[in-house]
Amino acid sequence: MLLALLGVAVFLAIWEAVPRLGLVRPVLLPPPSAIPDTFWREIRSGTWGEAVLHSLGHYLWGLALGSFLGVALGVVTGMSRRLEDLTSWVVRLLRPIPGLAWVPFAIIWFGVTPGAATFIIVVGVFWINYFAALGAVQAVDRDLLELADAFGHRSPLAKLVKIILPASISPIMAGLRTGLGQAWMAVVAAELFGVPGVGQRMMQASSLLATDIVVVYMITMAVLYGVIDTSFVALRDRLLRWKA
């Protein structure tokens, strides 16, 4: 803990020194000592709370839908070799397309609305969870499935509930955790084209060279992610206590 605190202190000291020594203009890189005052101004104006609430709405909806669809389709595809063969080239064609490339379609389909931002986040989260679930299901020990057949659990639903989900839950949860961070990265991209939220506020500030405001929202996103990730880990550990 002491080493961690020392590392943070050294990082902040270097950051503070760089603009103060004139190595970089403060307008391009504000010192950390200027951030608390800017943060307080954003809070008093109500801008910070409004932006965070908008972004959390996009984030939570996009995360929930992208995670559910990714896990569900990954599990179903992992259970069926024919379905995997059928969709393999569709996946290969769509997977490399980044979320930003879907922005024109998001605007055409949903307009400049929260629905468009949610769609971009869903795309960003979906593939992480799809491949995590697909790999987890395909890695299930075949001997366990044969044992399920021997005990009369021959239907796909019975195998899913009795064998596949319990055996693959840890990798699936790892994919869900990765999606937590990916969703926050997608939030900024999803709000760049005018949807209210943290991303829009950062773009407004950057256009005015108000880099201190940009840093405030960067720190805000980092703290929110830390809180959400910590809560998810606590929930995961509670849910998986039976595996200990």
**pLDDT of 178-227, one tens digit each?**
999 889 888 888 887 788 899 889 988 988 888 999 999 999 999 999 99
Question: What pLDDT score was predicted for residue 179?
Answer: 92
> 159 and 148 in contact (C-beta within 8 Å)?
yes
Question: Mean pLDDT across the stretch 15-35?
Answer: 89
**What's the CA angle centered on 130, arms 129 and 135, to 5 degrees?**
100
pLDDT number for residue 26: 86
What band does 11 get if pLDDT is binned at 50, 70 and 90? very high
Distance CA 4, CA 225 (A): 19
**CATH superfamily ID and name for 34-81+90-243:** MetI-like (1.10.3720.10)
Q: What are the structural domain ranges in the chain?
A: 34-81+90-243
Between CA 103 and CA 108, with CA 106 as vertex, the angle to 5 degrees is: 110
- Chain segment 56-67, per-residue pLDDT in tens: 999 999 999 999
pLDDT of residue 100: 81
Tokens in use for 84? 């995997």
